[in-house]
Amino acid sequence: MSRAPGTRISNPGDDVSASRARLRQVAQRLLSDRDKVDGVVSGLSLTKLPRSDMANVPIRASSITVIIQGSRRLTLGTQSFLLEEFGFLINALPLPIVEDTGRADGDAPYMAIELAFDLALAERVRSGMPGRIAGLVSSSVAMTGTPSWMCDCFRRMLEISVADNPDGRLVDLLQQEFMLRLLAHPSGRALHQLTLPGSHLARVYRAVRYIIDRFREPLVVADLATFCNWSPSSLHHQFRRLTTMTPLQYQQFLRLSQARHLLLTTQMQAGEVASHVGYSSANQFNREYRRLFGAPPIISVSVL
């Protein structure tokens, strides 16, 4: 096939590179004199503070993170992820945070965008989409490189966030556009299935919320299975398949993550923290904390 002299064959990689460059330029401009910008889009934030410089929250809500500059090590329960520049991670299910550390790239500061999902919006958008995404979802977490459409959506969200008197209708349209594109994207498959009533992901989400709401109380798996309308064996299988943890492990990681958060952000002593997060034995708390974080509570916090 011939082409006219002087014409240029389009390279999809060029579009991705240009979109990423434009997003980085906007982020650099917005963060030139501040550490964080909260967007007018609900749940959206842009930051150049590595997570290691902030008190870690104990659980990561259903959300997406895009690394604009630098890298980030994120361990959710039993899974560890290294997010590098313009990589993004989606977790459809809330997961306990074991490690969350951002790193700058030489002299260039760490920069990242985070968006906590509006699950009610996701369900409304999905209900208007034709058909449903087929296939088994093997994990509630997806990680890949950021496509050009995602960079463009986030750039427009950031630009409108600092505009004078932003148009609320445009904000809504941007949210809907992003959610529509994400739910149709392969990496959004878990989020898509989470919005389907009765799906395995929706039922595991129900189980997760049950544990989060009662994480200090003893967990009876049979009661949790009844709550989710599953047999204990089915609950165990599906929960572990989608979170890589059993329900009891999930509760343990959540308790210990909450304990670490309290030790970092309050004056509570280790024994008080152990009792507060649901441990009746201080020895058991110390043993499990050390196993997860690599040092006893007092030492692990003092060296941070």
Q: What is the mean pLDDT of residues 280-289?
A: 94
Which helix (DSSP H) or strand (DSSP E) does residue 184 occupy?
A: helix 168-184
Q: What is the largest CA-CA distance in the chain?
A: 78
Report yes or no on 98 lying in a domain: yes
Same domain, 256 and 176: no
* Domain membership of residue 123 as a residue range: 12-193
Asked if the model's pLDDT at residue 154 lies above 90, the reply is yes
Task: Mean pLDDT check: name the lowest of 5-9, 90-94, 122-126, 251-255.
Answer: 5-9
Report yes or no on 6 lying in a domain: no
Same domain, 182 and 234: no
Same domain, 48 and 113: yes
Mean pLDDT of the chain: 89
Report which residue type is found at 106: G
Q: What is the pLDDT of residues 126-139, one digit of tens each?
A: 999 876 665 678 89
Domain boundary, last residue among 176, 193, 210 = 193
What's residue 133's pLDDT?
62
Report yes or no on 5 lying in a domain: no
Q: Which residues contact 129 (CB under 8 A, 6 or more apart)?
A: 180, 183, 184
Q: Give the pLDDT band of residue 219 (cuts 50, 70, 90).
A: very high
Q: Give the pLDDT band of residue 164 (cuts 50, 70, 90).
A: confident
What's residue 3's pLDDT?
47
Q: What is the pLDDT of residues 36-69, one digit of tens each?
A: 999 899 999 999 987 766 667 899 999 999 999 9
CATH number at residue 165: 2.60.120
Torsion sign, CA atoms 184, 42, 51, 97: negative
Which residue has 């890589």 as its token pair? 244
Same domain, 18 and 164: yes
Which residue has 């427009």 as its token pair? 156
Residue ranges of alpha helices (H) inside 86-147 are 119-127
Q: For 167, how many CA atoms within 13 A lie in the half-sphere containing its CB? A: 5
Same domain, 173 and 208: no
Q: Which residues contact 293 (CB under 8 A, 6 or more apart)?
A: 98, 256, 260, 300
Same domain, 78 and 202: no
CATH number at residue 253: 1.10.10.60
pTM: 0.88
Report yes or no on 111 lying in a domain: yes
Domain count across the chain = 2
Same domain, 188 and 49: yes
Nearest to 258 by CA among 273, 279, 243, 248: 273
Domain boundary, last residue among 168, 193, 218 = 193
Same domain, 166 and 235: no
Domain boundary, last residue among 141, 161, 193 = 193
Same domain, 209 and 104: no
